[in-house]
């Protein structure tokens, strides 16, 4: 199975094949949703990839196993937790990396209300371990995943990377903000080049089963009701995963100094419109249960991507209508639904 039978290709037309300098890149969280797509794209352009992932069961690890199966023997894989300094150090001892793409994390805003310590361990301690090992083994270039959640309850839109983000409203967001701060310290003290990417609600083939899109899709297929929070009026800047990948690869190529950038579609849509597009892609209507806001949720996310355009030359290419059709194609193929 390829990319859900969609035959999507990553476009790197600006990369001259013959002059391409192969890099050895550590991708943490490479069995995860975004990590999987990043690894796939790096391999396709000829880079050498080492993956570290602990394959935890926050969601069904079979999906992580199935993602990794796509790579066969093209990667070196280590089942290691990034909070385990001793085990992680062995990976750095074995490989001299050119760059690190740090995507492993405990994700999810809602779960951080239930289990805050998982975030402290994987996101805060994990990041510090990565930075310390990079320092010890003299790896200077780091691209890492931050999140639109750092904008917390900010009401000024679009969200700009220069806006104040000192008032997080979930532990998840607080750990992601701490990642940006840790990276700055290593940039300042040791001259690291760091690029923190604030992803905005990423969706697409091989997507996470804990996210609203997968939960909605499953419920609609099974004739079960879906909860439409804030009566469908909240807005999300849904961003297609292949667009995210293009941004991550560009960041890996251009990381220099210290930068925080938004990677978002910059076209927020109302939840109710999102559900309508999903119904269209599925050819089936949802049973909608209209409810109020959930604790820890925000009304709108909306990325200002002017700086990202300048620094990376990046622009998202995929509309929500198009992206959802591709997601459903993959979903039906992977979960064997007629
Ligand atoms: N998907 C989104 O919409 C979104 C939005 C904003 C930010 N992000 C960030 O992007 C990154 C990737 O997210 P994703 O959606 O692919 O999530 P994911 O859960 O699918 O991927 C994360 C991967 O990291 C691994 N992992 C978690 N803790 C680990 C640990 N302690 N040691 C080793 N591996 C560990 C998991 O097993 C998983 O395979 C995360 O840092 C996340 O916080 C994602």
The domain ranges of the chain are: 24-202+240-264+302-317
Going by alpha carbons, the residue nearest to atom 1 of ligand 1 is 202
Cβ contact 170:118 at 8 Å: no
Q: pLDDT category, 296, cuts 50, 70, 90?
A: low
Spatial distance between the Cα atoms of 260 and 180, rounded to a whole number of angstroms: 8
Residue 121 DSSP code = I
Q: Which two tokens stand for residue 110?
A: 């809602």
Q: Which atom of ligand 1 is nearest to the CA of 144?
A: 41
User: Per-residue pLDDT averaged across 142-165, rounded?
Assistant: 96
pLDDT of the residue at 20: 59
Spatial distance between the Cα atoms of 98 and 26, rounded to a whole number of angstroms: 8
Task: Choose the residue to mutate in 103, 123, 243 for probing ligand 1, maximizing ligand atoms within 8 Å of C-beta.
Answer: 103
Residue 316 neighbours by CB under 8 Å, 6+ apart: 239, 240, 243, 264, 265, 266, 305
User: Per-residue pLDDT averaged across 46-57, rounded?
Assistant: 97
Predicted model pTM? 0.95
User: Per-residue pLDDT averaged across 167-172, rounded?
Assistant: 92
> What does pLDDT average to over the chain?
93
Spatial distance between the Cα atoms of 19 and 115, rounded to a whole number of angstroms: 48
Whether 31 is in the pocket of ligand 1, judged by its Cβ within 6 Å, is yes
Whether 179 is in the pocket of ligand 1, judged by its Cβ within 6 Å, is no
Whether 303 is in the pocket of ligand 1, judged by its Cβ within 6 Å, is no
Q: Which two tokens stand for residue 329?
A: 């194609």
pLDDT of the residue at 14: 42
How far is ligand 1, taken at its centre, from the CA of residue 35, in Å?
8
Spatial distance between the Cα atoms of 143 and 192, rounded to a whole number of angstroms: 11
Cβ contact 194:127 at 8 Å: no
Whether 208 is in the pocket of ligand 1, judged by its Cβ within 6 Å, is yes
Whether 161 is in the pocket of ligand 1, judged by its Cβ within 6 Å, is no
Whether 183 is in the pocket of ligand 1, judged by its Cβ within 6 Å, is no
Spatial distance between the Cα atoms of 305 and 310, rounded to a whole number of angstroms: 9
Q: Which two tokens stand for residue 111?
A: 């779960």
Residues noted as catalytic: 172
pLDDT of the residue at 338: 84
Q: Which atom of ligand 1 is nearest to the CA of 55?
A: 37
Q: pLDDT category, 295, cuts 50, 70, 90?
A: confident
Q: Which atom of ligand 1 is nearest to the CA of 36?
A: 16
Residue 294 has pLDDT above 90, yes or no: no
Whether 329 is in the pocket of ligand 1, judged by its Cβ within 6 Å, is no
How far is ligand 1, taken at its centre, from the CA of residue 122, in Å?
10
pLDDT above 70 covers a percentage of the chain that reads 94
pLDDT of the residue at 18: 52
Domain at 24-202+240-264+302-317: CATH architecture: 3-Layer(aba) Sandwich (3.40)
How far is ligand 1, taken at its centre, from the CA of residue 29, in Å?
6
Spatial distance between the Cα atoms of 49 and 64, rounded to a whole number of angstroms: 17
Residue 6 has pLDDT above 60, yes or no: no
């Amino acid at each position: 199975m390829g990319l859900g039978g969609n035959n999507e290709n990553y476009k790197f037309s600006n990369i001259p094949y013959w002059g391409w300098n192969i890099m050895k890149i550590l991708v943490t969280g490479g069995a995860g949703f975004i990590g999987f797509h990043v690894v796939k794209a790096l391999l396709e352009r000829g880079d050498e990839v080492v993956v570290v992932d602990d394959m935890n069961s926050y969601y069904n690890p079979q999906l992580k196993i199935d993602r990794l199966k796509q790579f066969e023997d093209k990667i070196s894989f280590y089942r290691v937790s990034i909070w385990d300094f001793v085990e992680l150090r062995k990976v750095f001892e074995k490989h001299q990396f050119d760059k690190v793409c740090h995507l492993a994390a405990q994700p999810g805003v809602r779960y951080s209300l239930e289990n805050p310590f998982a975030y402290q361990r994987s996101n805060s301690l994990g990041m510090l371990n990565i930075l310390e090992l990079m320092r010890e083994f003299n790896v200077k270039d780091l691209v890492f995943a931050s999140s639109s959640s750092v904008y917390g309850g900010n009401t000024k839109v679009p969200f700009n990377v220069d806006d104040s983000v000192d008032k997080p409203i979930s532990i998840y967001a607080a750990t992601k903000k701490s990642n940006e701060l840790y990276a700055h310290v290593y940039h300042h003290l040791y001259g690291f080049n760091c690029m923190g990417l604030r992803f905005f609600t990423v969706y697409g083939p091989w997507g996470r089963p804990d996210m609203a899109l997968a939960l909605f899709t499953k419920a609609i297929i099974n004739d079960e009701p879906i909860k439409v929070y804030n009566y469908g009026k909240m807005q999300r800047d849904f961003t297609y995963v292949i667009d995210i990948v293009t941004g991550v690869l560009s960041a890996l190529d251009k990381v220099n100094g210290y930068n925080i950038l938004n990677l978002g579609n910059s076209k927020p849509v109302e939840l109710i419109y999102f559900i309508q597009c999903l119904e269209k892609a599925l050819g089936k209507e949802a049973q909608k249960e209209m409810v109020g806001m959930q604790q820890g949720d925000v009304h709108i996310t909306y990325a200002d991507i002017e700086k990202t355009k300048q620094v990376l030359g990046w622009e998202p290419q995929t509309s929500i209508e198009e992206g959802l059709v591709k997601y459903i194609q993959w979903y039906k193929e992977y979960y064997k639904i007629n």
